[in-house]
Structure 1
Amino acid sequence: MGRTYIVEETVGQYLSNLNLQGKTFVSGLLIGQCSSQKDYVILATRTPPKEEQNESPKHPKAKLDNLDEEWATEHANQVSRMLPGGLLVLGVFIVTTLEMGNENICLFLHSLLHSTGVCFLLFQLVFAVEKSLNKKRLWNFTEEEVSERVTLHICSSTKKILCRTYDIHDPKSSAKPADWKYQNGLSASWLSLECTVYINIHVPLSATSVSYTLEKNTKNGLARWAKQIENGVYLINGQVKDEDCELLEGQKKSSRGNTQATNHSFDVRVLTQLVLNSDHRSTATVQICSGSVNLKGAVKCRAYVHSNKPKVKDAVQAMKRDILNTVADRCEILFEDLVLNEIPEKKVMNSEKEFHILPHRVFVPIPGSAVMLCDYKFGDESAEEIRDHFIEMLDHMIQIEDLEIAEEVNTACVSSSVNTEASLDNTDDEQPKQPIKTTVVLKIQQNIGVIAAFAVAALAAGISFHYFSD
């Protein structure tokens, strides 16, 4: 028996209403959450057409084998930034058209296509998307987590749906049948977790190797910081709970015996261990540095879990991943902006000290849902630009008044070796006199794969804990 996918009814309506506009196919992403028993799909979004295709209305019909894999994976990368903790790109879909008059012939050819061309296309696409997303993650899937991803093929002529899954850990895996079931009101059955994380991360930039770029230094540093977040202690509504307990344990039950969440939002606080355990040796390392990067500020984090008997460990895992994702995404966006504005890395490092304002997080609700997605904006970006980016990436209409801009003040300081010592001593007290306001509009046309990261280097004796939350 294959996996079961519980799908919000509005997703089915969206897929049915997709207009092929004379094309042979339209592809896109399926978004939701995995669980041990079943998966939940709450959103589908088509991959936007390229600009040159929009500008050429007489563009010839695209063939199935002409699907732009690089374009589709870049769209997946952009959309993954917009997902809070707990939500993932679960797979891909493709809608094809078969202009056949005879229903039986159409069904036969549909089955034949799925077993050859379309099936192979979906196989390639789902593995390419997962491989691209995995490169950016600061965390790894656990052995207990579901490793199957879904592919959905819809025939626009017959509305017939074929749902299959592949094991992303096995490139040679064969397709397995899966159930695709619609359910009304699925998007309302979610619990939210919120947390404010305060960070002051210092990353030394190595000068001992010419091959160590700013990107590589910061990425390595952030990987070390990520271990602190992974090993932290998480308080839910001020309590430490056993990870195998149900998140809603102690909640009142209705007359039907179902658990009712009297509070759909949980406050999370993070305790992080600043150094290794006492049974591990901690040694200082002398390193020749050309400069440093310091990331300082507060970030708003949010995660969601489905209300069907969620465990504490599921909620904590979703929050951990949102913390790691949002910090890495902000850094990546800033470095992309430096590239877009043609500010070379050498120029940044030759400056004695530069301050950059990191983007703020913006939340927006999915229409008719308790779940909110997110995006990032710099100070001089308008609400209209953010709305347009949501529409472009997610293919869903949103209202400007629904945008919720998180109250955050974050800066990134890049210092050269001229003033490295001062930077190390004064990072807590010094404030940017005139921050550089960088501007970025996250359009898929940029297609830039710059990954940036930051790290904490903590060398001290003994064990101490530090609140990273209100």
Structure 2
Amino acid sequence: MPRTVYSPEHCLQYLEQYASKEIFAIGLILGQMTDARENVIHLARTPEEKGSEIGIESNYGLDKSEIAKNLSSVSEAWIADHARHVTRMLPGGMFVQGIFVTSDEDVFEDPNCFSKLRSTLNHIYKGLSINEYMFGNCPYSNERLILHMSTSTKVLTCKSLEVGGLNKNTTLKPVEWKFSPKALSWQRLDCYYEFDEIYPVIVKNSGVSVKNQFQQILESAHKIIESSVMFIDGELKDGSESLDQLIKKKKTKTNTKLTQNEAPKSMHVSLFVPYENTLPETVEYLECEGSIHFSGVVSSSVFIYPKATVKEAIAAVKQDIVRSLASRFTMHCDALIDDNLLPEEKICFNEPPRRVLVPVGSLYLCDYLFPGEAPAEALLSVRELLDLKITETDVICDVETPADTSEFDALDRDASSEELLATPQEASQFMYITGLCFAMLVLLVSIIIHYYDGIIQVLSKIFPKS
């Protein structure tokens, strides 16, 4: 039985706008795969490559001679970089499912075209595997889609190809692509994860790298989030239940009905981290030069096919939180001039980019704005990376508020007096000396108690009773 993929009808119109003008185009297929159904949400054309640079910029002013006209002139690395940037904008549970092409070539029969497509998909797979916390590759399948529309015949063909393996003789598999005239309804799940952790800055001979330190913090956060228990609308749900079953049960209890066109309300997801009252057998003491305090709330909005299971929905929420943290850390590190984590000041305040939501069809993807950036910056990203035109009013900017720096300002004033701040070495010595004095006191008391009777007898002889 061939694999079946469902997509909204506007994806067909999107392909036809290029095929009707006989324009060669290549881009990404964005979607979600669950046990119930595989849905495509959007097709995003890859922007034209600007010179030999790899980035997100597109050159709309290129001469026609410089624009790619066929598959042979396309850079696999450029498309893989496009997939990496787009993955940051996808909520948890959404992935780059493959690539689409509009051309007059028979990409499945021409050996050169097929080799190029396979190489491109493997470049995307490897590029998204570099940072495991971005969850770039769909964990449910290694098969990626290739959707082709002929500019001459307007015939649409879709096939799948396995990527990431060592077998270079992977064969194409047929895929049935179906267009839905009605917009698909999505179940939205909202979660707010409070991030309030303090991490030590470990000193190494080669210095302290921001990226390395953030990678360790991200690994720790990932373990905490994966071990957490999630409640939907305040209740622990059975992982095998589907989301639409939960909605029906809730409506039965409240005796209310949903009309056919009414979208279900958002479900609230609460995250509870289990407390582990265990200590390691051996404690490793490391020299620290300082600490990093992460504080704030990560906003998570995930859209799931209503017939998906609770287990799949919870996995998507966890992916979304970790992917959001990984995206911010990467963007923050890329924006830094100096990779050295230790500043000259005693206290240094940094604000990573905050999350905003951008509409794509009947759901929302996301973008990130640095402090001081306006919603217009998100419009540029959406146009270049998603090939969409939206207005500033479409961008939802209040899901996360800018950081409150009042507490930092107070700490900065307190840190202005260096004599009040002990260095890490001084603090270590003070703790060591305090522990030594206490041990000597305990030893003295134990000696007195042990030899108490003997001391009383000696004192009675020296000082006899009158």
Q: TM over 0.5: same fold? A: yes
CA contact 2:237–2:310 (8 Å) conserved in 1: yes
CA–CA distance in structure 1, aligned partners of residues 139 and 217 of structure 2 = 28
CA contact 1:358–1:411 (8 Å) conserved in 2: no
CA–CA distance in structure 1, aligned partners of residues 141 and 259 of structure 2 = 26
**Which consecutive unaligned segments of at least 5 residues does structure 2 have?**
52-58, 252-257, 413-466
Partner of 2:408: 431
Superposed CA deviations along residues 252-278 of structure 1, whole A, max 9, x for unmatched, are 499xxx998984310000001243x65
CA–CA distance in structure 2, aligned partners of residues 33 and 220 of structure 1 = 29
CA contact 1:295–1:412 (8 Å) conserved in 2: no
CA contact 2:161–2:171 (8 Å) conserved in 1: yes
Determine helix, strand or coil for the equivalent of 1:345.
coil
Cα distance change on mapping 1:250 and 1:304 into 2, 3 Å: closer
2:65 is aligned, of 59, 67, 70, to 59
Superposed CA deviations along residues 177-227 of structure 1, whole A, max 9, x for unmatched, are 1111111224x3210000111101333232234276321222023112201
State the one-letter code of the partner of 1:158.
T
Partner of 1:102: none
Cα distance change on mapping 1:281 and 1:288 into 2, 3 Å: closer
- The answer to whether the aligner puts 1:182 opposite 2:179 as a matched pair is yes
2:113 is aligned, of 112, 118, 122, to 118
State the one-letter code of the partner of 2:206.
V
Superposed CA deviations along residues 268-299 of structure 1, whole A, max 9, x for unmatched, are 00001243x65x84643211234433221111
Quote how far apart the aligned CAs of 1:412 are.
12
Superposed CA deviations along residues 304-362 of structure 1, whole A, max 9, x for unmatched, are 1112x221101101100011011111111111111xxxx21238544432211222211
- The answer to whether the aligner puts 1:206 opposite 2:202 as a matched pair is yes
Determine helix, strand or coil for the equivalent of 1:159.
coil
CA contact 1:356–1:412 (8 Å) conserved in 2: no
Superposed CA deviations along residues 391-425 of structure 1, whole A, max 9, x for unmatched, are 11111111211111134356699xxxxxxxxxxxx
Q: TM-score, normalised by structure 1?
A: 0.76
Q: How does 1:228-247 map to 2 (within 5 A)?
A: 228-247=224-243
Superposed CA deviations along residues 112-171 of structure 1, whole A, max 9, x for unmatched, are 32xx12222121112211221222232769998233221112211111222121233524
State the one-letter code of the partner of 1:5.
V
Determine helix, strand or coil for the equivalent of 2:65.
coil
Superposed CA deviations along residues 90-109 of structure 1, whole A, max 9, x for unmatched, are 111122135xxxxxxxxxx5
Superposed CA deviations along residues 421-449 of structure 1, whole A, max 9, x for unmatched, are xxxxxxxx9524599xxxxxxxxxxxxxx
Determine helix, strand or coil for the equivalent of 1:333.
helix
Q: TM-score, normalised by structure 2?
A: 0.76
CA–CA distance in structure 2, aligned partners of residues 14 and 350 of structure 1 = 53
CA–CA distance in structure 1, aligned partners of residues 50 and 220 of structure 2 = 40
Instruction: Report how many residues are paired.
Output: 395
- The answer to whether the aligner puts 1:344 opposite 2:338 as a matched pair is yes
1:73 is aligned, of 80, 89, 99, to 80
Quote how far apart the aligned CAs of 1:376 are.
0.8
Quote how far apart the aligned CAs of 1:34 are.
0.5
State the one-letter code of the partner of 1:178.
V
CA–CA distance in structure 2, aligned partners of residues 430 and 229 of structure 1 = 27
CA–CA distance in structure 2, aligned partners of residues 121 and 138 of structure 1 = 28
Cα distance change on mapping 1:294 and 1:412 into 2, 3 Å: farther
State the one-letter code of the partner of 2:10.
T
- The answer to whether the aligner puts 1:221 opposite 2:217 as a matched pair is yes
- The answer to whether the aligner puts 1:163 opposite 2:158 as a matched pair is yes
State the one-letter code of the partner of 2:346.
E
CA–CA distance in structure 2, aligned partners of residues 213 and 348 of structure 1 = 9
Instruction: Percent identity, please.
Output: 28
State the one-letter code of the partner of 1:244.
S
1:393 is aligned, of 371, 385, 389, to 385
CA contact 1:75–1:393 (8 Å) conserved in 2: yes
Partner of 1:88: 95
Return the structure number with greater helix share: 2
Moved more, 402-411 or 69-78: 402-411
CA RMSD of aligned residues (A): 3.2
CA–CA distance in structure 1, aligned partners of residues 108 and 400 of structure 2 = 52
1:151 is aligned, of 132, 146, 150, to 146
CA contact 1:357–1:412 (8 Å) conserved in 2: no
Determine helix, strand or coil for the equivalent of 1:273.
coil
CA–CA distance in structure 2, aligned partners of residues 57 and 143 of structure 1 = 37
Determine helix, strand or coil for the equivalent of 2:317.
helix
Determine helix, strand or coil for the equivalent of 2:133.
coil
Partner of 1:314: 312
Q: Which has the larger radius of gyration?
A: 2
Cα distance change on mapping 1:140 and 1:71 into 2, 3 Å: closer
